[in-house]
Structure 1
Amino acid sequence: MFKRAFWPALLASVVAVTSGTGSASAQKKYDSGASDTEIKIGQTMPYSGPASSYGTIGLAMAAYFEKISGVNGRKITLLSRDDGFQSSKTVEMTRMLVESDEVLFMAASLGTAPNIAVQKYLNGKKVPQLFVATGATRWSDPANFPWTMGWQPSYQIEGAILGRYTIGAHPAAKIGILYQSDDSGKDYIKGFKAGLGDATKQIVAEISYELTDPTVDSQIVALKTAGADTFFLHANPRFSAQAIRRAYEVNWRPAMIMASVGASVGSALAPAGLEKSVGAVTAAYLKDPADKVWENDKALLDWAAFMKQWYPRGNLNDGSNVYGYSLAQTIVAVLRQCGDNLTRENVMKQAASLKNLELPMALPGVRLNTSPEKFLPIEEMRLVRFDGTSWVLMEAKP
């Protein structure tokens, strides 16, 4: 349905939806990007470059906005621009979206460094920077950045969960770490070490990689040489696949703990070879579409039907498509709460007023809650282990 040649036209086009029902305030109020018939939303996404595997998030969101029956009688126009995961391009595209396209707000732009590059600008303009697609802790800082809000669990929260698991499951571990050399990697490592506690002394090697590196082959060999028997891997899907494949090639078989951002079955584990990741552990907050436990789950069946009809070229085993779908549903929930008061101030107010929002594809027990003091909607995660086909919950209950 979405051929590559038509991506620019698709991503910059109006995603029209038919009228729906919703609450209406007595007085309609609009800022730039909103009217009686339309809501314009801006976004930057790496459709090209080293993080292009995440571009499917934007496509899944576009497809969802095209599919839904409407938000308070208004169509959604999603303007999603390719920044190639380059901060300078993010700045250029964001300024275009705000000053030329006059979007109401920015939503789910991807990447820690790209979002940092525009955070002060958007806050200075009082344009909501909503549900950024990254888990850096700085997205939950309403005192200093009242117009920026995260969405997923912070990398430090996840890192701490994985650190506690690692030392509990492998008390004598000799730990090797590979991480992306940017703020997201630093956040993960800070949380992971906090989870390890005194066991940080069991880290035998800690190595980073740059997004511009052609491979991480040398880093994997160095970790093996250091004697690590437990491997904490923070990388995007492309480099996760490389790391897993190289470890297998050099006959290094450590216990593997993976950051969720690089643990997609479709875009990381499958390209590496599924058998190479059996036994790996990560933390999750969304349902894995490849997990057979959900094969008769209504929410997953609805998601699969949505994908087949509205985004048929999307990979049904790629968790990023669940992520984009769920982000889009969160944005719709906020817009419904806004009613006819579509000012930037009210969009931010409603985003900070989510109460026990349940997303269909969230794991049981995961609900979204925000307040004026809490800009981190999702904080719960559950441990999952890869069985060669899918990520399987390690606990029976939330």
Structure 2
Amino acid sequence: MNTGRKLTLTLAAVAAMGLAAGSALAEKAYGPGVTDTSIKLGNTNPYSGPAAAYGTIGKAIAAYFDKVNKEGGINGRTIEFISLDDGYSPPKTKEQTRKLVEQEEVLAIFQGLGTPTNSAIHKYMNKKKVPQLFVATGATKWGDPENYPWTMGWQPSYQTEGQLFGAYILENVKDPKIAILFQNDDYGKDYVTGLRMKLGDKADSMIVAEESYEVADPTINSQIIKLKDSGANVFFNVSTPKFAAQAIKKVRELNWDPVFLNNSVSNTVGSVYKPAGLENSKGIISLLYYMDPTSPDTKKTEGYKKWNAWMDEYQPDGDKLSSFNVYGYLVAQTMVQVIKQAGDNLTRENLMKEAANLNMEMDMFLPGVNIETSPTDFYPIEKMMPVQFNGDGFTPLGNVVSAN
């Protein structure tokens, strides 16, 4: 009588063991570029060409992953970060991205830099169903999960920033006459759209001049002269670091003294204000969402002490005046969090699922700024603070605000 019962129990135990083994095996799911010991991430960055100043970001990300790998990786896996130079040239971006996806077989493209360059691979990445994660550009198009579910931005959108600049003008400038310099692509146009949205029916009367430039242009001096001649008392600069430094120099050379608004893309001491001249850059107003590494107040924080220690050990030749080294540090942390949340389910599909399931704060963010995403919200950061450059660092002009 007991024999039959024992046999039943034994079979049940074997079945349970089989289910447990199957469950354990099912817990590990890998996409391309993933093994038990490593994860391949691809990246394109302009280490050469007109936007080479941004190469600092790629180097900072690599340095942060060096830290992660030295400390044992993520869930036992090290990150193999393959970052290729695209010279800020869309055709080159296409070529390098295909190499990363089809030859290197990376799990995802992470932090590819630039609006025109990411636009060149936008459809390709979504057709291939490869994550195009936390792109280094604030174009509004990166937050469209319904039509482009494999692409997500990271920084505040350019339209959001344009709206915040519009709010600043309306609140602080009497009888504004606005002149705008912008890059002639989605990046530049998004800022102008955001500004116009906030100004509303006053936009056409307040904006007295607009001049665009092309990435391949050698200088923007002629555009600045035209903008100054418009009689504007507000100058809204929407340009990348090389042209932003030129604009600052030319504005001062012409003895033009408008309220100078500078987009966050070029709001960095080391790569813009120092080359343009710290004295020339005094008074420029911009928007920040992370701490200014040059500020005495920032240097008192625990977040800065951690960042500074990381710079000393992993980025010893890096410029501590460059906010791009803060940016790279923060966006790399965001990617690490996504991989942590994914656990052993490291498929491309699950990586996107976890990227759309973030709620986190980081110690080099300004108080009140956080990262929050959902399956319908692909805009991770949506708050910023108005600041003014004082020749050494940035003075807050108000609290952290949201365009919403």
Q: One fold, TM greater than 0.5? A: yes
Q: Secondary structure at the match of 1:76?
A: strand
Q: Which deviations, in whole Å up to 9, do the C-alpha atoms of 1:78-124 show, x marking residues without a partner?
A: 00000000100000000000010000011000001111111111111
Stretches of structure 2 that go unaligned for 5 or more consecutive residues are 1-23
2:276 equivalent to 1:272 = yes
- Distance in 1 (CA, whole Å) between partners of 2:134 and 2:164 is 22
2:30 equivalent to 1:27 = no
- Distance in 2 (CA, whole Å) between partners of 1:270 and 1:351 is 36
Look up the match of 2:58: 58
Look up the match of 2:296: 292
- Distance in 2 (CA, whole Å) between partners of 1:397 and 1:332 is 26
Kept after mapping to 1: 8 A contact 2:40/2:107: yes
Q: Which deviations, in whole Å up to 9, do the C-alpha atoms of 1:64-84 show, x marking residues without a partner?
A: 000122100000000000000
Report 1:368-387 matches (<5 A).
Answer: 368-387=371-390
Kept after mapping to 2: 8 A contact 1:25/1:340: no
Q: Which deviations, in whole Å up to 9, do the C-alpha atoms of 1:180-237 show, x marking residues without a partner?
A: 1111000000001112223311211111111111111111111111111111011111
- Distance in 1 (CA, whole Å) between partners of 2:270 and 2:305 is 18
Q: Which deviations, in whole Å up to 9, do the C-alpha atoms of 1:288-309 show, x marking residues without a partner?
A: 1011221111111111111121
Instruction: Choose 213-222 or 100-109, whichever is displaced more.
Output: 213-222
Look up the match of 1:18: none
- How many residue pairs end up in the alignment? 374
* Counterpart residue type for residue 225 of structure 2: V
1:128 to 120, 128, 131: 131
Q: 1:25 to 1:329 in 2, by over 3 A?
A: farther
- Distance in 1 (CA, whole Å) between partners of 2:182 and 2:87 is 20
Kept after mapping to 1: 8 A contact 2:330/2:364: yes
- Distance in 2 (CA, whole Å) between partners of 1:202 and 1:123 is 40
* Counterpart residue type for residue 43 of structure 1: N
2:158 to 133, 137, 155: 155
2:358 equivalent to 1:363 = no
Look up the match of 1:93: 96
Q: Secondary structure at the match of 1:44?
A: strand
- Distance in 1 (CA, whole Å) between partners of 2:64 and 2:87 is 23
Kept after mapping to 2: 8 A contact 1:232/1:258: yes
2:79 equivalent to 1:76 = yes
Q: CA deviation at 1:277?
A: 2.1
2:365 equivalent to 1:337 = no
Kept after mapping to 1: 8 A contact 2:383/2:400: no
Kept after mapping to 2: 8 A contact 1:334/1:347: yes
1:202 to 200, 206, 211: 206
Q: 1:397 to 1:95 in 2, by over 3 A?
A: closer
* Counterpart residue type for residue 150 of structure 2: W
Kept after mapping to 2: 8 A contact 1:230/1:256: yes
Q: Which deviations, in whole Å up to 9, do the C-alpha atoms of 1:214-267 show, x marking residues without a partner?
A: 111111111111111111011111111100001111111111011110111111
Q: Secondary structure at the match of 1:36?
A: coil
Percent of matched pairs sharing the same residue: 52
Look up the match of 2:249: 245
Kept after mapping to 2: 8 A contact 1:181/1:210: yes
Kept after mapping to 2: 8 A contact 1:167/1:199: no
Q: CA deviation at 1:396?
A: 5.5
Report 1:96-245 matches (<5 A).
Answer: 96-200=99-203, 201-245=205-249
- Distance in 2 (CA, whole Å) between partners of 1:115 and 1:98 is 14
Q: Secondary structure at the match of 1:381?
A: strand
Q: Which deviations, in whole Å up to 9, do the C-alpha atoms of 1:332-373 show, x marking residues without a partner?
A: 000000000100010010000002x01121111111111111
- Distance in 1 (CA, whole Å) between partners of 2:290 and 2:321 is 13
- Distance in 2 (CA, whole Å) between partners of 1:74 and 1:145 is 29
Q: CA deviation at 1:395?
A: 2.4
Kept after mapping to 1: 8 A contact 2:386/2:400: no
Q: 1:113 to 1:397 in 2, by over 3 A?
A: closer
Kept after mapping to 2: 8 A contact 1:166/1:257: no
Kept after mapping to 1: 8 A contact 2:110/2:132: yes
* Counterpart residue type for residue 31 of structure 1: G
Q: CA deviation at 1:25?
A: 9.0
2:353 to 326, 349, 360: 349
* Counterpart residue type for residue 38 of structure 1: S
Kept after mapping to 1: 8 A contact 2:385/2:399: no
- Distance in 2 (CA, whole Å) between partners of 1:101 and 1:93 is 10
- Distance in 2 (CA, whole Å) between partners of 1:396 and 1:342 is 39
* Counterpart residue type for residue 166 of structure 1: I
Kept after mapping to 1: 8 A contact 2:178/2:208: yes
Kept after mapping to 2: 8 A contact 1:338/1:347: yes
* Counterpart residue type for residue 243 of structure 2: F
- Distance in 2 (CA, whole Å) between partners of 1:256 and 1:198 is 23
* Counterpart residue type for residue 27 of structure 1: E
Q: CA deviation at 1:168?
A: 1.5
Q: CA deviation at 1:392?
A: 2.0
Q: CA deviation at 1:126?
A: 0.7
Q: Which deviations, in whole Å up to 9, do the C-alpha atoms of 1:20-58 show, x marking residues without a partner?
A: xxxx99621101100100000000000000000001100
Instruction: Choose 331-340 or 165-174, whichever is displaced more.
Output: 165-174
Q: CA deviation at 1:397?
A: 6.6
Look up the match of 1:262: 266
Look up the match of 1:304: 308
Kept after mapping to 1: 8 A contact 2:369/2:400: no
- Distance in 2 (CA, whole Å) between partners of 1:163 and 1:342 is 42
